[in-house]
Structure 1
């Protein structure tokens, strides 16, 4: 069973995709950027944008009954690979051992510095209480 997860505490999708899909005990979070619920960019620095993006993922995880700390896989897309040390430091502040599996790729983001997708374990997940 696949259940769409939505929250007003993160930016609404800008295309034909869901914020996240809950399938069994795993939440698949679509790529999120440093945007507030109104679609405005949050943060002037890479670090601020990375933290705002993770806050969006956390809000989506919470809407599904999960926690960002239970991420098993993170994909990060950086506009500039030179920001990797800051990204790594933000991850160290957000996650504890065992750290999630992670991929970091430099790509041509336009107008913002980072996009992140995630797979989060949501133990005993149910579709009850999820915004639809």
Structure 2
């Protein structure tokens, strides 16, 4: 099985020497998305604005990998403070549905932003 790196100019620029995602067979591993814009600047504002930008980035990268957030099987959510847990749950349900993924939510020391989200997608390659 080969690995295919996926970089997406329309999503927030990664914060280090890695790609937005990697496809390995029928699975796509999405790197942690943050509220970064493609030009490297960060979406400022309240938690909801940052979380929407983060989930939008994750969605854009999933689509660049010929998949969707509906293909998610496991999601990791990292919050600067668990005080935002309920707002995150509401947005999570909007973007990923309810009861369709395994998920871990952790409090993390995030550098200057409120949320980061990564995911594993099961998106079988079409035959042909």
Give the TM-score normalised by the residue count of structure 2: 0.91
Q: How many aligned positions are there?
A: 126
| Deviation of 1:125 (Å) | 5.5
Worse-matched range after superposition: 40-49 or 54-63: 40-49
Q: How far has the Cα of 1:44 moved from its partner?
A: 0.7
Q: Which residue of 2 aligns with 1:22?
A: 23
> Which whole-Å CA distance do the structure 2 matches of 1:14 and 1:68 have between them?
22
**Distance change (3 Å), C-alpha of 1:3 and 1:43:** same
Distance 1:125 1:97, change over 3 A: farther
Over 3 Å counting, the alpha-carbon distance change for 1:103 and 1:111 in structure 2 is: same
Distance 1:125 1:6 in 2: 20
Please name the residue that 2:118 is paired with. 117
8 Å contact from structure 1 (residues 51, 90) kept in 2: yes
TM-score (ref. length: structure 1): 0.88
What is the CA RMSD across the aligned residues, in angstroms? 1.5
> In the alignment, is the contact (CA less than 8 A) between 2:79 and 2:110 conserved in 1?
yes
Give the alignment of 1:1-132 within 5 angstroms.
1-124=2-125
What 5-or-longer segments of structure 1 have no aligned partner?
Answer: 127-132
Task: Provide runs of 4+ in structure 1 moved above 6 Å.
Answer: none
